[in-house]
Structure 1
Amino acid sequence: MPPDQRVIADFRRRLREAVENNREAWAASRRLVAPSAAAETVQRLQAAVAGSSLDPDIRQALLQVLGPAHHDGQQAIPQEGLRELTGLNPTKAVRNLCLLLGVGAGAVEAGPVSSMAQDQVEAAVRSHDNPFDVLLEADVASVVDCGAGDLTFAEKVVEQYLGPLERGGRVLILHAFDRLNPQEPFSTFVQADRDRLQQLRRRSSPALRFRYDGNRDMLDLASWRQACARYTIAVCRGA
């Protein structure tokens, strides 16, 4: 049975918000539909859809549309069905779906990774009263906040460490994600504060690289491990 129109409308809204919440990742996602990557992207997207928490009718419809890829290059992107489900041309639909489901996040977010070994980071953390002071001495000052809530922690990290890092000619990389989307009508006690989110995104300092992802599956432990491994410090809090 095809999905209900209200279900489709909600699905399309989530696709739009996935782009609105992360324009940098949207721009970078072009590489996921390049001729050399499209077939693999569709294959990974199919697996992500199968394991997602999308509405069952939407999930089944997407799996039927994506199906086994029979072509290479951009011809691997299915032309039939995606437009009807997403309201987008097929290439944009695949890119939006990748953002929504976190497919290819590692490639999109590829950035500097600290050369410090895990035991070196742990030793540095133990040597400070405030463990986050390691950001001032690590070769890459990067933090991922899993279960970011209302973003008060992210705001405090920026307030305390951006200035010293900027004065030293360095960059602060801060990635926060949560299972909720700040555009949805949940309590502000468990949802990213909209004003705080916009302030962090619009911070004028070129030394801050901030990203927020909503609608993340907080039980996808494999994705967590892959994402968190790129950061000097990972903070996992109640989600």
Structure 2
Amino acid sequence: MSAHAHILADFRSQVSRLLQEREEQWEASRRLVGAGQLPVTLKRLIEEVRRVELPAAVRDTITTALTAGHIERAQDLPGPRLKELTGLPPTKAVRALCVWFDLVERPSFAWHRTALPANAVDFLHQPNANPFELLLTLEAPSLFEVGAGDLSLATETVERYAPAIRRRGKTLIVHSLDRLHPESKLGGPLHPDRLCLESLRSRPDLSFQFFGNQDMFALDRLDRSGKLAPQYSIAACWAPATPTFAYEPARLNAAVIEHDLNRTRGASHRIDYGGEPALEVLHGDRALIFPPWKFEIRGPLALLELLSRRGQVCVLGAVDTQVFWEILAQLIEDDRYRPVDQPFTFDNIRPIFGNIYELLNKLTAHDSVNLQDHVPLRRQLPRVLGLDGVSTDHFGFHSVQIRRGAEFPDMPASSTARRFRDMVEETSPWMLTLIPDI
């Protein structure tokens, strides 16, 4: 069997297993191939094929099949190609692809909001609490990860907790997204491996979706299609992007930010990199290539608001020093921690944060601090993402636990976090577990 045929055979097998697991979606898919609906469905499928990372043989076969001439009716579909792809006759093949690409709303997963149990809150206040342990006790355990990169955090979370959750008669839901386009030449090791994606998608103890080429601050399309839950047990971000979240526009004007970026990271300009837009940054005698949005500044308020909307518990891991202090400044009530137009530096962090700096600087990997026990938390952070679906123009957290380190025993971590072992010149990163105000 040729490599091409082997890949298609493997895809057929995956489709068959998935249809057995998602019987309700399979039945509901009938409406997507009904009279007048087929062209719309094919257009949606083609969009998903271009967005999702797939083996080239599968992607090319689907694209060729769905764009073969003018298709208005099921009779126009190329039967042999679709059968080679799915093992099914034309109409059922299209339905199967709709299930595979998650175009059918899953009736069994009616999204609902549930309050975080009081014992869960008490647990998170305990020293060195592992927030992921909550997944073993909650009624609808779920994880929403932004900036998911190579899916290493999602994979470790699934391996640690999904089997035990399954034994309780429940299914872990994991939704991950990343802004990198799956086919981009940029990003290198931050792309998820194809085998990793296939493994997560085929697990019987997991409901998994990965959304590549997806801006975390532009989720309207996914929300309208019902692909995202309004709220998850845990909303997480590992290694929040720098400089994206290292400067807060609410306290630093654009000129100050641009000057500091040029000073610390070097001048940058847009280029064409192998046919796709990119950002070239001149850092000393090196030219570094990044995605074109690398230096877009959103600030910690945007990240904190996004996570507070999506998670009953919010977890930030492997947070580098600059991002950490900018986040911390937004979480403390007193305005003196947010000096206007003064970027945080190694020299000014100690005098600005004073006793809080001294307290946190003593932390080791074996310690934790509940911030609210030492300083009043800021209870009205301004919303910066708009007011759709919310009733107030502010948000806040009633609990913030801080730990120092990239990895912790019995807790999942991302591959980026694990790289800190070899980054001897980098200061130890931080972890924050936050409970949003209801």
TM-score range, shorter chain: 0.5 to 0.7
Aligned to 2:153: 153
Paired residues of 2:65 and 2:78 also in contact (CA < 8 A) = no
TM-superposed deviation, 1:84: 5.0
Aligned to 2:109: 111
- The amino acid across from 1:141 in the alignment is P
2:206 to 203, 206, 210: 210
Aligned to 1:86: 82
- The amino acid across from 2:67 in the alignment is A
1:50 and 1:236, CA in 2 relative to 1: closer, same or farther beyond 3 A?
farther
CA distances 1:114-134 after superposition (whole Å, capped 9, x unpaired):
4416xx59x959955444344
Runs of at least 5 residues in structure 2 that lack an aligned partner in the other structure: 51-58, 242-438
Structure having the larger proportion of residues in strand: 2
**What SS class does the counterpart of residue 74 from structure 2 fall into?**
coil
The aligned runs of 1:23-42 (5 Å cut-off) are 23-24=19-20, 27-34=23-30, 38-39=33-34, 42=38
**What SS class does the counterpart of residue 138 from structure 1 fall into?**
coil
Aligned to 2:172: 173
Structure-2 separation of matches of 1:12 and 1:131: 40
TM-superposed deviation, 1:48: 0.8
1:64 to 50, 65, 70: 70
TM-superposed deviation, 1:98: 1.0
- The amino acid across from 1:191 in the alignment is P
Paired residues of 2:111 and 2:230 also in contact (CA < 8 A) = yes
Runs of at least 5 residues in structure 1 that lack an aligned partner in the other structure: 1-7, 68-76, 182-186, 203-207
**What SS class does the counterpart of residue 227 from structure 1 fall into?**
coil
Structure-2 separation of matches of 1:125 and 1:85: 57
Aligned to 1:219: 214
Structure-1 separation of matches of 2:200 and 2:146: 19
Paired residues of 1:174 and 1:211 also in contact (CA < 8 A) = yes
TM-superposed deviation, 1:29: 4.0
The aligned runs of 1:120-139 (5 Å cut-off) are 124=121, 127-128=124-125, 129-139=129-139
Paired residues of 1:78 and 1:90 also in contact (CA < 8 A) = yes
Structure-1 separation of matches of 2:68 and 2:160: 44
**What SS class does the counterpart of residue 175 from structure 1 fall into?**
strand
Structure-1 separation of matches of 2:9 and 2:236: 29
Paired residues of 1:173 and 1:210 also in contact (CA < 8 A) = yes
What is the number of residues matched between the two proteins? Answer: 203
**What SS class does the counterpart of residue 64 from structure 1 fall into?**
coil
Paired residues of 1:32 and 1:41 also in contact (CA < 8 A) = no
- The amino acid across from 1:210 in the alignment is L
TM-superposed deviation, 1:33: 4.2
1:191 and 1:136, CA in 2 relative to 1: closer, same or farther beyond 3 A?
closer
Normalised by the length of structure 1, the TM-score is 0.54
1:223 and 1:59, CA in 2 relative to 1: closer, same or farther beyond 3 A?
farther
**What SS class does the counterpart of residue 172 from structure 2 fall into?**
strand
**What SS class does the counterpart of residue 174 from structure 1 fall into?**
strand
Paired residues of 2:33 and 2:95 also in contact (CA < 8 A) = no
Normalised by the length of structure 2, the TM-score is 0.34
**What SS class does the counterpart of residue 192 from structure 2 fall into?**
coil
Paired residues of 2:145 and 2:175 also in contact (CA < 8 A) = yes
* Sequence identity percentage: 20
Structure-1 separation of matches of 2:41 and 2:63: 17
Structure-2 separation of matches of 1:14 and 1:236: 32
Structure-1 separation of matches of 2:157 and 2:176: 15
